[in-house]
A and B are shown apart, each in its own frame.
Chain A
Amino acid sequence: MTEVSPGGPSPPGSFSVAVGQSVRTLPWWRTPTARRYLFGYTLLAPAVLYVGLLVGLPFVFSLYLAMSDASVSSPVARFVGIDNFMSALENATFYTALRNTVVFTVGAGILKGLLGTSLAFLLLQPFKGRKVVRALIVIPFTLPIAVSVLGWKWMFDSQFSVINWALSRLGLIGSYGSPDWPVWLGQPGLALLSVMFVNVWRGFPFSAIVLLAGLTSVPPEVLDAAKVDGASFMQRFRKVIVPMIAPILFVGSAFDTVFTLSDLSIVYLLTNGGPDGATEILPTLAYNTGIRGGALGRGAAISLFLFPLLLPAIILLLRTLRRRQY
């Protein structure tokens, strides 16, 4: 029961409670609503603090660097506005890197999705040693990236490539030195395909495991019911399985997109962006400009171009996910 307190209307955010004849005014922070809010925000605070410190601060720091003339050796930087972004846009290599980044991320994402899905369905089938195979399948993902990429570097070697030697023995290509001997990391199209392939090799077991977790959560009765209703495999997949595991799919896709877009190691170790920018992606360009070249401001600006690429994709994924939850 709310009453107007004596002496005029209550200040905003406070209210009066009649107790018998006496009226007591509570300060706003002691009201039940305020307490409820306070409790909610207190519970939320650790997560906000965590995200703020680990994501927000580095992001703001990146913005600060990108808008300054900071170098690796200069602790005090000057504000230069959007100069560094303009400098990136004036750099012809930047456009090559941007194009390669999109091709690399989208191409690898599609391949990982296809291979991951196929593998997940295969691993779902009952067969002898399934548990062992399921454990072995994640090895590429668990190996230290430097070790596995160096292994691939040898396999892609222009002279001693085991892939080429196998293809040559099978009569599919000529011998070493012949014009059809592929130079995996030297021919522009092949080089980009090769680095993408290594990313897919490393990442698709992760996709498969994520999907497998989703698939095992689909109740068999639902699938059986769909079968009884005459749904084909593809219909069951599209109309039953995908909608049911959509949240897992979206979160997995979001993770994979972020990891692929910001993947520096594979390209850096295999080609370092060469030859002539054929495999240059934004992370390698940013690293070579900002850290190795010392131009921290320009490096940060290049890396921030990943943000507008990533933001719409993540917003789309999360919004779709949210809609499905309601």
Chain B
Amino acid sequence: MSHERLAETHPTTLSRRSFLTTAGGAVAGLTLADMLTARQAPAQIKGTNLRLLIWSHYVPAYDVWFDKFAKEWGDKNGVKVRVDHMPHLELPARYAAEFAAGAGHDLMYFAGQILTGQYYRNLVDVSDLAEGLGKKYGGWLDAAKSAAQVSGQWYAVPDFFISIPVLWRKDLFASVGMGEPKTWEDLRKAAGQLKAKGHPTGMQFSHCNDANHNWRALMYCYGVKETDPTGQNITIDSKEMREALKFAKAMYDEGMTPEVFSWDDASDNRFLASGVASWIHDAISAFHSTRLTNPKVFEQTFVVPEVAGPGGTWNVGEPNVWAIWKFSKNVPAAKEFIQGLADSQKDAMQASLGYNMPFLRGQYTKPMPYLGNDTKLGKLQDQEKITAFLGFPGPMTPPAQEVVTTFIIPDMFTRVARGGAIEDTMKWGVGEIRRIYAKHKAS
């Protein structure tokens, strides 16, 4: 098409010089256009190697798809791609080792723990790539910036986030005259009534990822703000936090059993699949695993994106982002790979069974892959409007991460659930958080 237009505007009267200039420009323009449409990587990456490190996804089928994608992308672009998978809890130690050695993977993945703020001085500024993706796909969600930007610059490219909705049993709720839960109060009421019938609820009070997410979802719905929007000043010492603790204590007493103190990230999945749980607050992996292990329970299991509290409706997601070390030996290929993956978002989301929630607004066009074809999961297609991340409304700074890794918030809820006084707990928890922030400020 470009050729035709050129031919029309420049008939046979072209000089040799202008012909070469015009033709050269046309060829360059054509190459760029082709690259953008067919995602043909630049020739400079051909014959190179790319090593990337990624977590082991909760949906194994996604890892299969991803490895195949990486191989095909490598074959297409003449890049030898090596993919290493690792459990997400082991990634921080691995990155610390790679950084200390100044060598390792070209492209790495922050999952569970977002270390953009920690390592940004040693990461490639990927603002060009991130802004390009933003323009192409309708802009980034606000929450994306908290995981991938530092001082307005992009040091990571968001891949997807994991949504953690409410999974509830329609039949059990109906047995106590209740319908779909809309608020945390509804959940509390249902759990209280259903516990007596042998169907309690549960949210982790232990040292695991889910405990960090779930209690923060309740906190944010109660209007708690962990820090100010800059992430520098702690604002958790509030009336709202005390109310959230008070509510959690009541919900534990009325609707849970002590087993929640021992739970890990998968315990609530099993709790739902066993048919005991009245509701859980977990990623949709629990939904999928119940489909396989207990079809009868699955039939009655429904999804609510999040329930409301006095401070609104906020769902705490778990972001996953790509980053490139400055010492990477193949930055161009790493960037091209991220671009290629972002362009394949629909396939990725389908392969993950709707687990990988996009960060780009344009990718929320309905019907979304997988979710749009599932009557129960279809409700998650508006998740971008209610998603917040750890440290909200501030970014995921290093002190915010340390608060997460030392489980101060779950421990505060545990203390209160076990009968600790709210004021004593606040004094302890806020004191610990202040100490961590003060140390980071001083360094």
- Give me the interface of A with B, judged by CB distance under 8 Å: 69, 71-74, 78, 80, 83, 87, 90-93, 153, 156-160, 177, 183-187, 191, 271-277, 285, 288-289, 291-298
Q: Is B75 an interface residue (CB 8 A)?
A: no
Q: Are A273 and B405 in contact (CB under 8 A)?
A: no
Partner among B119, B200, B428, B435 whose Cβ is within 8 Å of the Cβ of A73 = B119
Q: Are A273 and B407 in contact (CB under 8 A)?
A: yes
CB contact under 8 A between A295 and B95, given known A71-B118, A288-B406:
no
14 example contacts (A-B, Cβ-Cβ < 8 A) are as follows A73-B118, A92-B431, A93-B432, A183-B259, A186-B260, A191-B262, A271-B206, A273-B407, A274-B205, A274-B261, A274-B411, A275-B261, A275-B414, A294-B402
Q: Are A90 and B435 in contact (CB under 8 A)?
A: yes
Tell me the bound Cα distance from A274 to B99 in angstroms.
Answer: 29
CB contact under 8 A between A87 and B439, given known A159-B259, A159-B267:
yes
Q: Of residues A74, A160, A292, which shows the largest number of chain B Cβ atoms within 10 Å of its Cβ?
A: A292
Tell me the bound Cα distance from A159 to B263 in angstroms.
Answer: 10
Residues of A close to B262: CB separation below 8 A: 156, 158, 183-187, 191, 271, 275
Q: Are B405 and A292 in contact (CB under 8 A)?
A: yes
Q: Are B99 and A276 in contact (CB under 8 A)?
A: no
CB contact under 8 A between A72 and B206, given known A277-B411, A293-B402:
no
Q: Are B405 and A288 in contact (CB under 8 A)?
A: yes
Q: Are B443 and A293 in contact (CB under 8 A)?
A: no
Tell me the bound Cα distance from A271 to B414 in angstroms.
Answer: 14
Closest chain B CB from A268 CB (angstroms): 9
Residues of A close to B208: CB separation below 8 A: 272, 274
Given known contacts A73-B115, A93-B406, what 7 new A-B pairs fall within 8 Å (CB)?
A71-B443, A73-B99, A177-B257, A274-B206, A291-B96, A293-B436, A294-B398
Q: Are A69 and B259 in contact (CB under 8 A)?
A: no
Tell me the bound Cα distance from A83 to B238 in angstroms.
Answer: 29
Closest chain B CB from A299 CB (angstroms): 10
Partner among A160, A185, A294 whose Cβ is within 8 Å of the Cβ of B118 = A294
Q: Are A183 and B407 in contact (CB under 8 A)?
A: no
Task: Give a binary string over B85-106; 1 marks a CB under 8 Å from any A CB, 0 the rest.
Answer: 0000000110110011000000
Tell me the bound Cα distance from A156 to B206 in angstroms.
Answer: 15
Q: Are A289 and B406 in contact (CB under 8 A)?
A: yes
> Chain B binding site: helix, strand, loop or mixed by DSSP?
helix
Q: Is B121 an interface residue (CB 8 A)?
A: yes
Residues of A close to B119: CB separation below 8 A: 72-73
Using CB atoms, name the residue of chain A closest to B123: A73
Tell me the bound Cα distance from A271 to B402 in angstroms.
Answer: 18
Q: Are A291 and B439 in contact (CB under 8 A)?
A: no
Q: Is B346 an interface residue (CB 8 A)?
A: no
Closest chain B CB from A253 CB (angstroms): 31
Q: Is B410 an interface residue (CB 8 A)?
A: yes
Residues of A close to B200: CB separation below 8 A: 177
Q: Are A273 and B207 in contact (CB under 8 A)?
A: yes
Tell me the bound Cα distance from A257 to B402 in angstroms.
Answer: 30
Q: Are A271 and B442 in contact (CB under 8 A)?
A: no
Q: Are A183 and B261 in contact (CB under 8 A)?
A: yes
Q: Is B215 an interface residue (CB 8 A)?
A: no
Q: Are B414 and A160 in contact (CB under 8 A)?
A: no
Tell me the bound Cα distance from A221 to B436 in angstroms.
Answer: 65
Q: Is B270 an interface residue (CB 8 A)?
A: yes
Q: Are B415 and A158 in contact (CB under 8 A)?
A: no
Q: Is B135 an interface residue (CB 8 A)?
A: no
Q: Are B414 and A292 in contact (CB under 8 A)?
A: no
Partner among B115, B206, B428 whose Cβ is within 8 Å of the Cβ of A186 = B206
Partner among B113, B121, B276, B428 whose Cβ is within 8 Å of the Cβ of A159 = B276
Residues of A close to B428: CB separation below 8 A: 92
Tell me the bound Cα distance from A187 to B198 in angstroms.
Answer: 21
Q: Are A158 and B402 in contact (CB under 8 A)?
A: no
Tell me the bound Cα distance from A297 to B182 in angstroms.
Answer: 46
Tell me the bound Cα distance from A157 to B259 in angstroms.
Answer: 9
Residues of A close to B113: CB separation below 8 A: 292
Q: Are B439 and A298 in contact (CB under 8 A)?
A: yes
Contact residues of B between 230 and 276, Cβ < 8 Å to A:
257-264, 267, 270-271, 274, 276
The 7 closest A-B pairs by CB, nearest first: A186-B262, A274-B207, A186-B261, A158-B259, A293-B402, A185-B262, A69-B443
Tell me the bound Cα distance from A210 to B411 in angstroms.
Answer: 41
Task: Give a binary string over B102-124; 1 marks a CB under 8 Å from any A CB, 0 the rest.
Answer: 00000000000101001101100
Closest chain B CB from A79 CB (angstroms): 12
Q: Are A159 and B198 in contact (CB under 8 A)?
A: no
Tell me the bound Cα distance from A185 to B432 in angstroms.
Answer: 24
Closest chain A CB from B393 CB (angstroms): 21
Q: Are B435 and A294 in contact (CB under 8 A)?
A: no
Tell me the bound Cα distance from A72 to B398 in angstroms.
Answer: 11
Using CB atoms, name the residue of chain B closest to A284: B207
Residues of A close to B432: CB separation below 8 A: 91-93
Partner among B118, B205, B271, B436 whose Cβ is within 8 Å of the Cβ of A275 = B205
Partner among A156, A183, A295 whose Cβ is within 8 Å of the Cβ of B439 = A295
Q: Are A293 and B406 in contact (CB under 8 A)?
A: yes
Q: Are A177 and B435 in contact (CB under 8 A)?
A: no
Q: Are A187 and B406 in contact (CB under 8 A)?
A: no
Q: Of residues A71, A83, A153, which shows the largest number of chain B Cβ atoms within 10 Å of its Cβ?
A: A71
Residues of B close to A296: CB separation below 8 A: 96
Q: Are A294 and B439 in contact (CB under 8 A)?
A: no
Contact residues of B between 168 and 208, Cβ < 8 Å to A:
198, 200, 205-208
Q: Are B261 and A72 in contact (CB under 8 A)?
A: no
Closest chain A CB from B117 CB (angstroms): 9
Using CB atoms, name the residue of chain B closest to A276: B414
Using CB atoms, name the residue of chain A closest to B402: A293
Q: Are A158 and B267 in contact (CB under 8 A)?
A: yes
Tell me the bound Cα distance from A157 to B99 in angstroms.
Answer: 37
Q: Is B49 an interface residue (CB 8 A)?
A: no
Closest chain B CB from A55 CB (angstroms): 19
Closest chain A CB from B257 CB (angstroms): 6
Using CB atoms, name the residue of chain A closest to B202: A158
Residues of A close to B76: CB separation below 8 A: none
Partner among B92, B100, B260, B435 whose Cβ is within 8 Å of the Cβ of A292 = B92
Partner among A272, A274, A291 whose Cβ is within 8 Å of the Cβ of B93 = A291
Residues of A close to B415: CB separation below 8 A: 276
Residues of A close to B121: CB separation below 8 A: 73-74
Tell me the bound Cα distance from A135 to B260 in angstroms.
Answer: 40
Residues of B close to A184: CB separation below 8 A: 262
Tell me the bound Cα distance from A160 to B428 in angstroms.
Answer: 34
CB contact under 8 A between A276 and B259, given known A72-B96, A73-B99, A293-B406:
no
Tell me the bound Cα distance from A184 to B259 in angstroms.
Answer: 9
Q: Are A187 and B261 in contact (CB under 8 A)?
A: yes
Q: Are A275 and B439 in contact (CB under 8 A)?
A: no
